[in-house]
């Protein structure tokens, strides 16, 4: 039988976020959470997310100039550029 590709392998779901990821999340929210939402209609964004029955949680706004700093924070855990496939900006 053919082996599943990496994209179809099962993902492990955890009941709680691991401590190192919790600390990383807090660091990202602290670093990128302030000041970049001025002039943005955040309520409209939240409504858009809720209309599609998606969970609305904490979020940050990053710009192209932030990507290298964000990648440094993730280190080898995750390749940030994978989140911007085909020039997606959201």
pLDDT, position 52: 93
Is 3 or 41 the better-scoring residue by pLDDT? 41
Better-predicted residue by pLDDT, 48 or 3: 48
Structure confidence at residue 4 (pLDDT): 57
Helices 19-32 and 67-74 pack at an angle, to 10 degrees, of 160
- For 18-72, the pLDDT digits (tens) are 999 999 999 999 998 777 778 888 899 889 889 999 887 888 888 888 889 999 9
């Amino acid at each position: 039988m053919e082996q599943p590709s990496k994209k179809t392998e099962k993902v492990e779901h955890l009941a709680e976020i691991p401590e190192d990821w919790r600390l990383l999340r807090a660091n990202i929210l602290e670093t990128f959470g302030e000041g970049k939402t001025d002039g943005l209609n955040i309520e409209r964004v939240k409504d858009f997310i809720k209309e599609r029955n998606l969970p609305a949680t904490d979020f940050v706004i990053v710009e192209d100039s932030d990507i290298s700093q964000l990648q440094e924070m993730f280190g080898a855990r995750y390749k940030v550029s994978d989140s911007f496939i085909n020039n997606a900006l959201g």
